[in-house]
Chain A
Amino acid sequence: MQPKLLELQFSQLQSEWSKAKYNNYSDLRKKEYHTKLAIIISALEKENFQSFDDTEITQRFHIISFLFKSLEFLNNSTTSTIPFEIVYVLSEALKDWSSADEYIIVTSLINDLNGFSFDNSLMFNGFIYKDIELLYGVNFDKRLVQINLPLSLSRDYLANVVLYHELGHFIDRKYEITRVIYIEILDLVASGNLKLHEQEEIFKYFPYLSDINPVNWLKDNYYPFNYFSNHIAEYFCDLFASQYIKDCSNQYLNYITLNQKNYSNTHPSTPNRIDFVEVFLKGTPSFLINQYKEIIFKITRVNVERKEKEVDSKNFESLIPVEIQESKELHGLFIYGWNVWLDDWDNIKSQSNIGFDLSQVKVYEILNNLIEKSIGNFIVRTEWELAKKS
């Protein structure tokens, strides 16, 4: 490995850092993180890359990659267009599964209409943090995680329900849930001890498992992104999301996938995904969902169950925000919003006494605005109450 290429990589970082070193953050935790990056970069500047062997070059490669990614995340977070309302709601959901102190959430608005995701690349590799601490004495007590939203949909709260599914991927990676389900299901199928209805249910959601050859191959060839892993993860994330938003994202999913009846390498069929969630929400007896629930609980000590509180209100139809009483109702807001969207818009006309029809785009704008205002008001009230106590 050539030290010159390490010098190239570091030069790229230094060029980026020259612009970012004066970043301003309102969040103290981001400032502290930024300061730690500065310490590491300063230390790297004093190192003699020409004297490094391959191992040391590889080490610095990973560290500089980490620094680049961190800068990318922090740079994105200095813009003023971050939809803090959606971040707040997702953070509330995250608290059910993980300590809030572990991470700093940032957002990035991207030019991709399907670009809903969590970027976990700085979250789950403990080795890089240990190496940085050993080499430079810098300890990161919090890690950055980035939520990606399509720029054009950043304030579309109806569409943003899919972020609960993406949060599921984050939780999955944190706890390696898919990996365990993968092993357990294959063991069950291979054991030959399943009851007929249990077997039929597994083959319904994972049709390829009805043939023993794929089962044996999958057992010997685990890969995080093979089709079986991917499908397990997608069912998990749909299940995860439905705890907070019931079947809201199913409506959207059914439309944007045009009810895709075939499974792909990355996703199960849309009908199967919708069915999986409906079985859970209705409480229909299900061997597979019980397997998921048991495994998830054994790993995380968190029960898979409804975690939202439905909003009983006609405020949106009256064109006013909802006064949220507790954080569980924040998730219920999305369900309420979707119900209003899917319902007869004449209800808005009659409830609000506006006396004229609203165009679809006006209903769209008003609903999203009201959801945002409802969340925003709750945040302000909550922060105020906290400030009064301290």
Chain B
Amino acid sequence: MLYSHNLEDEKINLFTLFLTKAIQGEESYSPIVNDVILETHKYVAGEKNLYNINRDSMNIILLLAGLENDFFKNLIDNPENYNKETYSKVLDLLKQTKPQMAY
């Protein structure tokens, strides 16, 4: 095989791209990233669990929850309050992941 490629890498790559777009002010990407961030908040706050979090972004949610639990726990429940600061923080967290954690 010429290079390693798997679906989860691709998802994280795209999610990172969407965060960048949202930070750059492209508001159409905000709802997509907000959904994942809100789902992560609900998971760490105990409002959702392994059995009912979004399946498509589940691995990203669990990755983020493991990186900085408190940040997501303390987020407000209303994604309209998420802003460039929120997205930048999430992007910074993703950049810190070890290669294996990022699959």
Could you list which residues of chain A lie within 8 angstroms of chain B, going by C-beta atoms? 55, 58-59, 62, 120-121, 124-128, 130-131, 134, 174-176, 179-180, 183-184, 221-225, 295, 298-299
Verify B7–A125 contact, CB threshold 8 A.
yes
Please tell me if the beta carbons of B28 and A179 are within 8 angstroms of each other in the complex.
Answer: no
**How near does chain B come to A180, taking the closest CB pair, in angstroms?**
5
Cα–Cα distance between A124 and B6 once the two chains are bound (Å)? 12
Query: In whole angstroms, what is the CA distance A224 to B8 when docked?
Result: 9
Query: Beta-carbon contacts of B3-17 to A below 8 Å, as 1s and 0s?
Result: 000111011011101
By a CB distance below 8 angstroms, the chain A residues around B14 are 62, 125, 127-128, 131
Binds A, one of B38-46, B51-59, B71-79: B51-59
Residues of B contacting A134 in the complex (Cβ-Cβ under 8 angstroms) = 28-29
> Mind listing 24 A-B residue pairs with CB under 8 Å?
A55-B20, A55-B21, A58-B13, A62-B10, A127-B14, A127-B18, A127-B56, A128-B10, A131-B18, A134-B28, A176-B58, A179-B50, A179-B58, A179-B59, A180-B51, A184-B50, A221-B100, A222-B62, A222-B101, A223-B103, A224-B6, A225-B6, A298-B51, A299-B51
Q: Which residues of A contact B11 (CB under 8 A)?
A: 125, 127
Q: Which chain B residues have a beta carbon within 8 Å of chain A's beta carbons?
A: 6-8, 10-11, 13-15, 17-18, 20-21, 24, 28-29, 32, 50-51, 55-59, 62, 100-101, 103
Query: Assuming A176-B59, A180-B51, is B100 touching A223 (CB within 8 A)?
Result: yes
- Give the chain A neighbours of B15 by CB distance below 8 A: 127
* Nearest chain A residue, comparing its CB with the CB of B14: A127
B87 to chain A, nearest CB (A): 13
A176 touches B55 (CB 8 A): yes
Identify the 8 closest CB pairs spanning chains A and B, nearest first. Answer: A127-B14, A126-B56, A298-B51, A176-B58, A180-B50, A176-B55, A134-B28, A55-B20
Chain A: which residue is nearest B36 at the CB level? A127
Rounded to whole angstroms, the CA-CA distance of A124 and B20 in the bound complex is 22
Total contacts A-B at CB 8 Å: 62
In the complex, what residue of chain A is closest to B63 when comparing beta carbons? A222
A191 vs chain B, min Cβ distance (A): 16
Candidate in B18, B24, B55 with the most chain A CB atoms within 10 angstroms: B55
In the complex, A222 Cα to B6 Cα: how many Å? Answer: 15
| Contact B55 A175, beta carbon cutoff 8 Å | yes
- Pick the residue among B6, B17, B59 that contacts A58 (CB under 8 A): B17
A378 to B101, CA, bound (A): 48
Docked-complex contact B58 and A125, CB < 8 angstroms:
no
Which among A125, A225, A298 is the interface contact of B56 at CB below 8 angstroms?
Answer: A125
* Residues A174 and B55 in contact, CB atoms below 8 Å apart: yes
Q: Which residues of A lie under 8 Å from residue B56 when comparing CB positions?
A: 124-127
Residue on B nearest A58 in the bound complex, by CB:
B17
B3 to chain A, nearest CB (A): 13
A301 to chain B, nearest CB (A): 10
Known: A120-B7, A124-B7. A130 touches B103 (CB 8 A): no
B residues in contact with A62, CB < 8 Å:
10, 13-14, 17
Given contacts A55-B24, A58-B13, A224-B59, 18 further A-B contacts (CB under 8 A): A55-B20, A62-B10, A120-B7, A124-B7, A124-B56, A125-B10, A125-B14, A126-B57, A127-B56, A128-B10, A128-B14, A131-B18, A176-B55, A176-B58, A184-B50, A221-B101, A223-B103, A224-B8
Min CB–CB distance A53 → chain B (angstroms): 9
CB <8 Å contact, B17 and A224: no
**Within the assembled complex, what's the spacing in Å between the Cα atoms of A184 and B49?**
12
A179 touches B13 (CB 8 A): no
In the bound complex, residues from chain B placing their C-beta under 8 Å from that of A55 are: 17, 20-21, 24
Return the chain B residue nearest A59 by Cβ: B17
